[in-house]
Amino acid sequence: MAKDPICGMVIEKSTALTAERNGRTYYFCSPTCLRTFESPETEIKAMRRRVTIALTGVVAIAILRAGAFIALAAGATIVTWAPIPALPWFTWGRWLFILVTPVQFIGGWSFYKGSWTAIRTRNINMDFLIALGTTTAYVYSVFVVFFPRVLPVSIEERDVYFEVSAVIIAFVLLGKYMEEVIKTRSSAAVRKLMDLRPATAHVVRDGAEVEIPAESIMVDEVLVVRPGEKIATDATVVEGRSAVDESMLTGESMPVEKAEGGSVIGGTLNQTGMLRVRATRIGSDTALAQIVRLVEEAQSSTAQVQRLADQVVQYFVPAVVGIAVLAFGGWWIAGEFPKGLLAFVAVLIIACPCALGIATPAALMVGVGKAADAGILIRGAEILERAQKITTVVFDKTGTLTRGEPAVTDVVPLAGVSEQDLLRFAAAVEAGSEHPLARAIVQAATHRGLDVPAVSGFEAIAGHGIRGSGDGHAILMGNRRLLTREGIDPAAAEKTMAGLEVQGKTAMLLAVDGVLAGIIAVADTIKPEAREAIDALRQDRIGIVMLSGDNPRTAQAIAAELGIERVIAEVLPADKAEVIRGMQRTGEVVAMVGDGVNDAPALATADIGIAIGSGSDVAKETGGIILIKDDVRDVVTSIRLSRATMLKIKQNLFWALAYNSAAIPVAAIGLLNPIIAAAAMALSSLSVIVNSALLKRKKVA
């Protein structure tokens, strides 16, 4: 089974109409839904024409009826006040027949076309119910006017229901038209993203600059991007310097400085200087294409609560036809044929499960689109459902709450080693490591102009430190556990270490040739927005935990500055996932926030993984929520927006189910005029769309 992304109808994949977009197959219940998906603006124009025809017919009927009332009040009849000689032949029913027939077959043509597809594919849809109901009223009225003797009713009961048919078609078309207009505006996020990529690019080929279609760019080709032009594909800067506006992808308003060696994202706007860039990713591999694909997949995903509703809809439509037939038969047996006919039409019209089908897609379209505008990618409805249940958010410290750019703050020599030698030896063994702390030590040595010796026998000891040989010495650098394991007593450095750690610094011990040589302390700065994010989560009554590989004193000092009470220190990278599992075993629903690559196991283990600062590497992320910007406040925004979107989905489903459950019995017992049923059905779908669109205005930051 699949769901039509336009109307939400559940359909069989084998018989549905299909369309391909960005390597994904979409399934449709009718040609109208397919056309709306492929060309929403064109379909809206066609729908506007059909609405105009239908409303013109209904207005003409209203004018004719008003004229008849005025004439009757004056003592005339429709025959005496109409000016044409052949008028006596034209009874009231024939006038209505002339006015309603274009509405029925031109205005309502899309319903007949969709019905034929429904019959052919065995997927009974809304078009089928509308067409069956209005055609029944229309055909019965034709028989009353032209073939009255074949009907099993007395002359007194032979009313015509042309108006019922026309007004139903007009109401439903108007409702669908308004629905599509709102949905088109609400789903602007994907179209806006798709429109970012320029149509052409300037490429250097055979030493000359040529303009080519953007889809013809090849990897490693050099592109020339002038100020004011969009960058056509993901690339690396090979020449030039400029400020690039990435706000359309990241939501970050400030331009980003780009220079030689920097990476640029396709679809972003070059502002100040000319750049030469080398293409690194093209087509569906670009960050823009990945983001579009993620947003589309999220918008077409299905929440668990919606899947239950979909199962109801599968049996709902055939059941409605059965109820309509039973209502008709019951009234006919009771001698009330006209009333049975009206009940039949009213049940078919009122029971259209449109609101039920679009309850989730409508809210997802707005919520996921709003998130994408802010540089937040939510992978789907399941993530939204989990987000509303989150009790705890776990932050990895480095690069999430702190900048991830530490600097050396203290060099404390011991055992007669000079400060310069201590830093030289430390930089020698750290030169082979990619850890942020290692880079800080190497940069400190470089800035001081020290001669760093080459190292052999380099070995990284996970969770402890590193070792190597340089300048004829065996060098060991790491935490207390490493030195203790190697038989070196760190007690002489304990007091100094403790003092540094209380200040929130990471203090590392260095041993040379088996002797404790000194301490090097490195500190990372807390992101200025981190405290604001923590306070907002606490305001939302969500528990906060900080994970750190640092020793307890350092971790506690940073946590205290941020106002975090729960801290788990000295956690090895491989153990983060187990910490998450431990929390889950105690009943906590956990969101893990961290680096999408380094923290992948923990992100995958958590109920929701939130990967922060992903930039252009969207495809690598294992998180259910991906934050393109490196702003920890987006964690709060993503959770609040997820909860708000899920609340809208539940409101929509409740309204749709309540409406159908209450209206069908009322229609079946003949207490609901089909015209009112049509208006109620159109308003129910429209209310779901409007309720979802209100999400666009909700403040969640």
Separation CA 557–CA 447 (nearest Å):
28
For residues 590 and 609, give the distance between their C-alpha atoms in angstroms, rounded to a whole number. Answer: 9
Q: 290 exposed, middle or buried (CB, 10 Å; 0-12, 13-18, 19+)?
A: buried
- Return d(Cα 501, Cα 395) in angstroms, integer: 20
State the Cα–Cα distance between residues 643 and 645, nearest whole angstrom.
Answer: 5
Which has the closest alpha carbon to 142: 161, 114, 170, 164?
Answer: 161
Q: Which residues contact 238 (CB under 8 A, 6 or more apart)?
A: 222, 260, 276, 277, 278
Q: The tokens 């109401």 sit on which residue?
A: 171
* Cβ-contact 244, 264 below 8 angstroms: yes
Residue 396: active-site member:
yes
The answer to whether the Cα torsion of 657, 663, 668, 673 is positive or negative is negative
Of 245, 396, 550, 634, which is the active-site residue? 396
For 453, which DSSP code? P
Q: For residue 94, with 0-12 CB atoms within 10 Å meaning exposed, 13-18 middle and 19 or more buried, which class applies?
A: middle
The span from the first CA to the last CA of the chain, in angstroms, equals 37
CA-based nearest residue to 335, from 673, 666, 670:
670
CB 426 within 8 A of CB 578: no
Tell me which residue has tokens 């004829």: 472
For the beta sheet containing 608-612, the strands, ordered from the edge strand earlier in sequence to the opposite edge, are 376-378, 625-627, 608-612, 590-594, 392-396, 543-547, 566-568
Q: In degrees rounded to 5, what are phi and psi of residue 509?
A: -95, 145
- Active-site residue numbers? 396
